[in-house]
Amino acid sequence: RDTITINSSLSAQETLVSSGGVFTLGFFPANKYKYLGIWYTKISKQTIVWVANRDSPINDTSSVLTISSNRSNLLLQSSSNNVLWSTSISANLVNPVAQLLDSGNFVLMENNTDKIVWQSFDHPTDTALPGMKVGFISGQYRNLVSWSGSDDPSSSNYKFSLRLSGFPEFFLLDGLKPVGRNGPWVGDHFSTEPAVVNNGTFTSEYVSNDNETYYTYYVNNPSIMSRVVVNQSTIKRYVADTSGSNWTLYWTFPSDQCDNYGQCGSNALCNTYTSTVPDCTCLTGFQPESEKDWKLRDTSAGCIRQVELNCTSDGFITINNAKLPDTTNATVDTTIGLEECRNRCLMNCSCTGYANSDTLNGGSGCVTWVGDLVDLRQFTRGAQDFYYRVAGSQVPVTSTKKNRNTGIIVTCVVLGLLFLASTVYLIHKKLRKNHENVAYMQRQRQISFESERPLALVRDKAREEGLSTDGNDIVLRVFHASVISAATNNFALANKLGEGGFGTVFKGELEGGQQIAVKRLSKFSTQGLGEFKNEVILIAKLQHVNLVRLLGCSIEGEERMLVYEYMENKSLDTIIFYKARSSQLNWHKRFEIIKGIARGVLYLHEDSRFRIIHRDLKTSNVLLDDNMNPKISDFGIARIFGGDEKKSHTNRVVGTYGYMSPEYAMDGVFSVKSDVFSFGVLVLEIISGKKNRGIFSVEPSLNLLSYVSVLFNIHLFFSTIKANFITNYLEYNSKIILQAWTLWKEGKALELLDSSISSNSNNNLQVMRCIQVGLLCVQDRQEDRPHMSEVVLMLNSLNTSLTEPKQPVYFSVRDASNMESSSSCTVSDMTVTVIEPR
Ligand SMILES: Nc1ncnc2c1ncn2[C@@H]1O[C@H](COP(=O)(O)OP(=O)(O)OP(=O)(O)O)[C@@H](O)[C@H]1O
Backbone angles phi, psi at 91, to 5 degrees: -90, -30
pLDDT of residue 653: 40
For the chain, what's the residue count?
Answer: 838
CA torsion angle for 128, 132, 135, 139 (degrees, to 10)? -140
- Closest residue by CA, ligand 1 atom 17: 500
Q: Is 633 touching ligand 1 by the criterion CB < 6 Å?
A: yes
Strands (E), 522-643: 550-556, 559-565, 622-624, 630-632
Closest atom, ligand 1, to C-alpha of 573: 29
- Closest residue by CA, ligand 1 atom 20: 500
* Per-residue pLDDT tens over the stretch 441-469: 333 322 222 222 233 333 333 343 333 32
pLDDT of residue 640: 61
- DSSP secondary structure of 487-545: HTTTT-GGGEEEEETTEEEEEEE-TTS-EEEEEEESS--S--HHHHHHHHHHHHH---T
Look at strands 376-378 and 15-17 and give their pairing. Answer: unpaired
Report helix angle 788-796 to 761-777, nearest 10: 170
- Closest residue by CA, ligand 1 atom 18: 500
Q: How wide is the angle at C-alpha 521 spanned by C-alphas 516 and 522, nearest 5°?
A: 140
Report helix angle 672-688 to 761-777, nearest 10: 150
pLDDT of residue 310: 86
3-state secondary structure of 708: helix
What separation in Å is there between the alpha carbon of 655 and the centre of ligand 1? 15
Q: How far apart are CA 387 and CA 314, in angstroms?
A: 12
User: Is the bond into 254 cis (omega within 30 degrees of 0)?
Assistant: yes
What separation in Å is there between the alpha carbon of 687 and the centre of ligand 1? 21
pLDDT of residue 449: 27
pLDDT of residue 472: 37
pLDDT of residue 149: 95
- Which helix (H) or strand (E) segment holds residue 600: the answer is helix 587-602
Q: Is 387 touching ligand 1 by the criterion CB < 6 Å?
A: no
Q: Is 616 touching ligand 1 by the criterion CB < 6 Å?
A: yes
- Closest residue by CA, ligand 1 atom 9: 505
Contacts 24+ apart (CB under 8 A), 454-460: 454/610, 454/611, 454/612, 454/613, 455/639, 455/643, 457/610, 457/611, 458/538, 458/610, 458/611, 458/639, 459/534
- Within 668-753, where are the H helices? 672-688, 701-711, 715-733, 735-745
Secondary structure of 147-168 in HEC code, one letter for each residue: EEECCEEEEEEEEEEEECCCCC
Closest atom, ligand 1, to C-alpha of 574: 31
In 3D space, the residue among 230, 368, 393 whose CA is nearest the CA of residue 308 turns out to be 393
The low-confidence residues of the chain, meaning pLDDT below 50, are 399-404, 426-469, 471-474, 525-527, 642-654, 695-718, 812-838
Backbone angles phi, psi at 540, to 5 degrees: -65, -25
3-state secondary structure of 350: coil
Strands (E), 326-479: 331-333, 351-355, 366-370, 376-378, 384-390, 477-478
Active site residue: 616, 634, 754, 780, which one?
Answer: 616
Q: Is 566 touching ligand 1 by the criterion CB < 6 Å?
A: yes
Task: Please confirm, yes or no, whether 333 is among the known catalytic residues.
Answer: no
3-state secondary structure of 207: strand
- Closest residue by CA, ligand 1 atom 16: 500
Query: Rounded to 5, what percent of the chain is helix, strand, coil?
Result: 35, 25, 40
Contact between residue 718 and residue 708 where contact means Cβ atoms under 8 Å apart? yes
CA torsion angle for 461, 465, 466, 470 (degrees, to 10)? -100
Q: How far apart are CA 130 and CA 219, in angstroms?
A: 7
* Per-residue pLDDT tens over the stretch 218-238: 998 888 999 999 999 999 999
pLDDT of residue 113: 83
What separation in Å is there between the alpha carbon of 498 and the centre of ligand 1? 6
Contact between residue 52 and residue 35 where contact means Cβ atoms under 8 Å apart? yes
Closest atom, ligand 1, to C-alpha of 634: 17
Q: How far apart are CA 24 and CA 37, in angstroms?
A: 8
Contact between residue 636 and residue 677 where contact means Cβ atoms under 8 Å apart? no
pLDDT of residue 316: 94
Q: Is 505 touching ligand 1 by the criterion CB < 6 Å?
A: yes
Q: Is 155 left (phi over 0), alpha (psi -120 to 50) or beta?
A: beta
Tell me the one-letter amino acid at 763: N
0.90 cut: is pTM over it?
A: no
pLDDT of residue 379: 86
Contact between residue 373 and residue 352 where contact means Cβ atoms under 8 Å apart? yes
pLDDT of residue 552: 87
